[in-house]
Amino acid sequence: MEETDVCHPTNTVLSLQQAIPNSCPAKSLPPSQRLQIGLQALAGSQTITNLAEEFQVSRKFVYCQSDIASQALSEAFTPQQADDQVLFYLPVTKQWLHQFILALALICHSPLRGIVELLGDVFDYPMALGTVFNVLRAAVPRAQAHNQAQDLRPIRVGGHDEIFQAGQPVLVGVDLQSTYCYLLSREQHCDGDTWGVRLLELQERGLAPDHFVADAGYALRAGQQLAFPGVPCDSDHFHLSQEWTKIAVILDNRAYTALSKCAALERKIARAKRRGQRISSQLKLLHAKKNQAQAITLADDFALLGRWLRVDVLGLAGPCHADRLALYDFVVAEVQARIPQAANLLEPFVKYLQGQRDDLLAFSARLDGHFQALAAKFAVPVEVVRELFAVQTLPLHRSRRWRRDALLRRRLGARYFPLSQALEQVRRQTFRASSLVENLNSRLRSYFFLRRQIGNEYLTLLQFYFNHHRYLRSEHPERRGKSPVELLTGQSHPHWLELLGYKRFSRN
């Protein structure tokens, strides 16, 4: 053992490997020699052992080159399939045609006349427009049965909105956690009584959320108070952000217009000076520069106040509820002080901000309650819980996040991981906007544009499809490959076509 250690020291081997990182002969072999190894192995002119010794490689490497050469030869002599070759046979039955019609209407957004034309042109199968309509209508009872049978008790946060088609309102309700659509109904009127009746019907099916999120629509909120008195309804941050951005763009355009006017007057005065003409636009230029400075200052101030409101006041991570209220009042007061510069834009907007303060910041009061409960459970100060929550909301690529995170890990020790998990759950259950309702409305638009009149039977079918169709992709990994019903209940279900009574085609 001692002689072996002296003759073959480990340190010497390691140093040689570090000095010659590509010392393995197999790595340095060019493609031509690799091809030669593979061909000779296939030809059998030499044994695998002899080839390995000749090229100073392992037997496994020789076998690998042989497999690569064999596969290349197989692909080279395999005849290519012609475009007209039959791939598989499809037994077209009436049941298959019916589910094909449903798939065209719901997956491909095809109009009914488009389905008739496709069946005639591609399948050489003439079908009347009324038959296509009857196929869709025949699927409504089963779809409605599934919609009505769904238990709505798991829904904790609901989002409401309305969308209009040809002057007719369509009421929409979505579970903000699972994206399940529990309300999709066309109505004659959009008032508080109509909303109240529909919500009472949903209440009978178990709908009892902790709170709602919606815009500032009067009818929507009045109907909710009729059906769910005492259940809070937070104001949607999405609409506030959209309105703020809209006003900011208008103010920016005014500033650019003022800049253009000043530049035009300056060019006019410079041209008059060159020609030796009388200059009569100096007073106009002074007035234009004054308007330009005011317009630029107003646009910059409004944009800065918007960033303060979005990041410091309405951000998910931020100060306590009382501080947010004070900061919100400060921002509103600053906007109100600039009303004389753009009264038609800022005066109604300030009234909206003043009326929506408590509903916009209701989420921060709930966050304070969660933080206090977690602080008592893990025996840590509330400030530490709030700091850890703020760190978790920072982007992963920010180095600042990991510096702050390291300090919290050392301070919390074994409590760090369970507290982080609890705060992640709080973050997932905190909703500040009804963006999912707006997303559903945008998906509905792609169906509504195909027809002017929308009936509740068609909406029933759409609601069933939206809830039972599995997501192919999503920004949230837990939603990929699952339907809203599966996300709501935690249980899988058959394909939506099978739920409607059809047997799906399988090539196997």
Range in 125-139, 259-273, 400-414, 415-429 the model is least confident about:
259-273
Q: What are phi and psi of 165, to 5 degrees?
A: -130, 115
- How large is the average pLDDT for residues 363-385? 95
Range in 80-84, 207-211, 365-369, 432-436 the model is least confident about:
80-84
What is the β-pairing status of strands 168-175 and 211-214? unpaired
Domain 143-234+433-499, CATH homologous superfamily name and number: Ribonuclease H-like superfamily/Ribonuclease H (3.30.420.10)
Confidence at residue 82, expressed as pLDDT on a 0 to 100 scale: 63
Going by pLDDT thresholds of 50, 70 and 90, the confidence category of residue 21 is very low
Confidence at residue 81, expressed as pLDDT on a 0 to 100 scale: 60
- How large is the average pLDDT for residues 132-159? 95
- pTM score, two decimals? 0.76
- How large is the average pLDDT for residues 367-379? 95
Going by pLDDT thresholds of 50, 70 and 90, the confidence category of residue 359 is very high
How many angstroms separate the CA atoms of 178 and 483, rounded?
9
**Residue 432 and residue 237 in contact, taking contact as beta carbons nearer than 8 Å:** yes
User: How many alpha carbons lie under 13 Å from residue 25 in its C-beta half-sphere?
Assistant: 12
Model pLDDT for residues 205-238, shown as the tens digit of each residue: 999 999 999 998 899 999 999 999 999 999 999 9
Strand positions, DSSP E, 263-362: none
Model pLDDT for residues 274-328, shown as the tens digit of each residue: 887 777 777 888 888 999 999 999 999 999 999 999 999 999 999 999 999 999 9
CA dihedral of 143, 172, 478, 388, whole degrees rounded to 10: -160
User: Which contiguous run of DSSP H or E holds residue 164?
Assistant: strand 157-165
Q: Is the pLDDT of residue 10 over 60?
A: no
- How large is the average pLDDT for residues 233-248? 93
Residue 350 tokens, joined: 């300030």
Q: What are phi and psi of 186, to 5 degrees?
A: -85, 135
Phi-psi label, residue 179: left if phi above 0, alpha if psi -120 to 50, beta otherwise: left
Using alpha carbons only, give the angle 475, 478, 479 rounded to the nearest 5 degrees. Answer: 65
Across-strand partners of 171? 162, 185
The length of the chain, given as a count of residues: 508
Confidence at residue 23, expressed as pLDDT on a 0 to 100 scale: 56
- How large is the average pLDDT for residues 349-378? 95
Confidence at residue 277, expressed as pLDDT on a 0 to 100 scale: 77
